[in-house]
Structure 1
Amino acid sequence: MFGPLGPSLAPYIRSSKTLSSYVKPFANWYANLMGYRQMGLKYDDLLVEEREDVQRALTRLTPRETYDRSFRFKRASQLSVIQQNLPKDQWTPVSEDVRYLKPHVVEVAKEDDERKVWDTIAVQRK
């Protein structure tokens, strides 16, 4: 599968239980090393909001998801100002760190691709 940065090994790794069991601990270690979970953020909170597709995907969130996202940002901003992390019991657990925005971004990208196809159709007269 090809992503914006080229081919991805993720689908292959997920399909193999053995390979997945070796890679998952390193992935969790790296995610914890990044520090966003210690501030109460989720991975999709780190997506660059200036991108057109992310902007359109943000408009598709439910009101509850939008509120939760803004709350996480305000809390992380406050923690950054006081230069502290949340107590360990308030960190974002791995089970809650789900990709809530990515499905919307993928949907927007598919719509853009479909729009390009339909906008460039050449009409032929018989």
Structure 2
Amino acid sequence: MVSLAPYVLKRPWLTKMLTPAANWYASASGYRQLGLRYDDLLEEENEAVQIALKRLSAKEAYERVYRIRRSVQCSYTHKLLPKDQWTKPEEDVPYLRSILAQVEAELAEKDALDSMTVIKKH
């Protein structure tokens, strides 16, 4: 998957222009109204995400499970959290993506080493 983020971040004028749209999109998606953070939405069935989740600190893992359970309860009751409990944009910081990037790099290195062929010289 190709990301335009590095291209946008290198150009301050483009970042300034796209930031309001990005903030609007994040608010409109609704996950913050359920008390979730963006990294809570990552697909857990992915092997790399599973490994990254195991590397979280105990406190961060507990908080993540709490946020997810609370959002599931809101979903069951078809209600949103009170506005004072919504995730604020400044609270919605990545906590798993850096660990995930490290795990993906490790898995890519492992795959490269596993598929390496050794040629014997005579």
Question: TM-score by structure 2 length?
Answer: 0.92
Q: Deviations over 1:64-84 (max 9, x none)?
A: 010000110111111112211
* Matched position secondary structure for 1:114: helix
* Matched position secondary structure for 1:96: coil
CA distance in structure 2 between the partners assigned to 1:33 and 1:92 by the alignment: 13
CA distance in structure 2 between the partners assigned to 1:28 and 1:61 by the alignment: 27
Q: CA deviation at 1:121?
A: 2.8
Question: Where does 1:37-116 land on structure 2 (aligned, <5 Å)?
Answer: 37-116=32-111
Q: Aligned Cα RMSD in Å?
A: 1.2
Give the letter aligned to residue 97 of structure 2. Answer: K
Q: Deviations over 1:48-73 (max 9, x none)?
A: 11111111111010000100001101
Question: Which runs of 4 or more aligned residues in structure 1 lie more than 4 Å from their structure 2 counterparts after TM superposition?
Answer: none
CA distance in structure 1 between the partners assigned to 2:3 and 2:43 by the alignment: 20
* Matched position secondary structure for 1:57: helix
Aligned to 1:120: 115
- Residue ranges of structure 1 left out of the alignment (5+ in a row): none
- Residue ranges of structure 2 left out of the alignment (5+ in a row): none
CA distance in structure 2 between the partners assigned to 1:120 and 1:82 by the alignment: 50
Q: CA deviation at 1:102?
A: 1.1
* Matched position secondary structure for 1:41: coil
CA distance in structure 1 between the partners assigned to 2:34 and 2:115 by the alignment: 46
Tell me the matched-pair count.
121
Identity %: 47
